Structure 1
Amino acid sequence: MPKDRAPRANYAYFREMTTRWRDNDVYGHMNNVVYYEFFDALVNLWLIEEAALPVPEAEVIGLVVETGCVYHASLGWPRGLVAGLGMERVGSSSLTFRIGLFAPDEDLAAAEGRFTHVYVDPATRRPVPLPDGLRAAAEALRAAV
């Protein structure tokens, strides 16, 4: 049974992104691994711009421990896309992001992803509590939708 497509209203932080010729596969649509590149870029833009986390020089780093994607419709070059970000969960040392990728003129997501980061000490790679600024930004993103 197909999953319902999320609307833009389910996301609070948006970025227009450019697709490239090489993003398309032999079937004429964007290859599935490229969706994850957009997810990763969006999350890191949010970390830098909204959470003031100086990637990659921050006192903590986020390691991806779980990802997933539901594909609803094709995206690909030459059309750009709009990426939307929401926060699903704020843990003691982890964040679970929700990402929607949209065709520029569509209100319903063409793809919906999740990314869970566990934040760790860069030297030991052991989990650490979320820094106050990151936690505050994550809670604000979660409350925004």
Structure 2
Amino acid sequence: MSQKDRTPADYGSRRRDDFPVVRRISTRWEDEDVYGHVNNVVYYSFFDTAVNGYLIDASGTDIRTLDAYGVVAETGCRFLRELRFPGDVEVGLRVVRLGTSSVVYEIGLFQGAAPEPAAIGRFVHVYVTGSERAVTPVPDVVRAVLEPLT
């Protein structure tokens, strides 16, 4: 089975090496909840930070200044094990689908030396124009840095 043919049921079999880009984010004191683990809402913040940080770094462009930008149209997360503070989280990115006006990312969250993810996320950007919020094609500068991740 190829990487692209995997279904959400296969998420637990993902490994760090399945992601062409890995970015590091440090957990913060405030990320842990009363149960002693990083709260689930923080995982979604990690997704957003990793995707947009990658787009800015890889393109060399402040994506906030483009005529079109990605709005989050869908997110999801399969929680597989806890993340903890203190510790860095390595966020793996890959593109599952790069369409005309949308991008579907798969995101793995890893902590410590474990090759297995603590969570696997799905994150969808739909590109819209700044003023009218009309759906528009993914900007060329963004597409250029996403194509290698497919």
Structure 2-normalised TM-score? Answer: 0.89
Partner of 1:68: 76
TM-score normalised according to structure 1 size: 0.92
Offset of residue 107 of structure 1: 0.7
Q: Distance in 2 between matches of 1:107 and 1:43?
A: 21
Cα distance in 2, alignment partners of residues 11 and 125 from structure 1: 31
Q: Which has the higher helix share?
A: 2
1:8-32, Cα deviation, whole Å (9 max, x unpaired): 1110111121101111111111100
RMSD: 1.5
* Alpha-carbon contact 1:5-1:110 (below 8 Å) kept: no
How far is 1:52 from its partner?
Answer: 3.8
* Unpaired runs of at least 5, structure 2: 1-8
- In the alignment, what sits opposite 1:130? 138
Identity of aligned residues (%): 42
Residue 76 of structure 1, CA deviation: 1.6
Could you tell me whether the CA contact under 8 Å between 2:12 and 2:116 is conserved in 1? no
Q: Alignment partner for residue 85 of structure 2, among 56, 63, 77? A: 77
| Conservation of the 8 A alpha-carbon contact between 2:102 and 2:124 | yes
**Amino acid paired to 2:145:** A
Q: Deviations along 1:61-82, whole A, 9 cap, x unmatched?
A: 1110000000101002012211
Structure 1 unmatched runs, 5+: none
SS in 2 for 1:25: coil
Is the 2:127–2:138 contact (alpha carbons within 8 Å) kept by the matching residues of 1? yes
User: When the two structures are aligned, how many residues end up with a matched partner?
Assistant: 142
Cα distance in 2 for partners of 1:62, 1:131 equals: 10
Amino acid across the alignment from 1:98: E
Determine the C-alpha separation between the residues in 2 that align with 1:118 and 1:22: 30
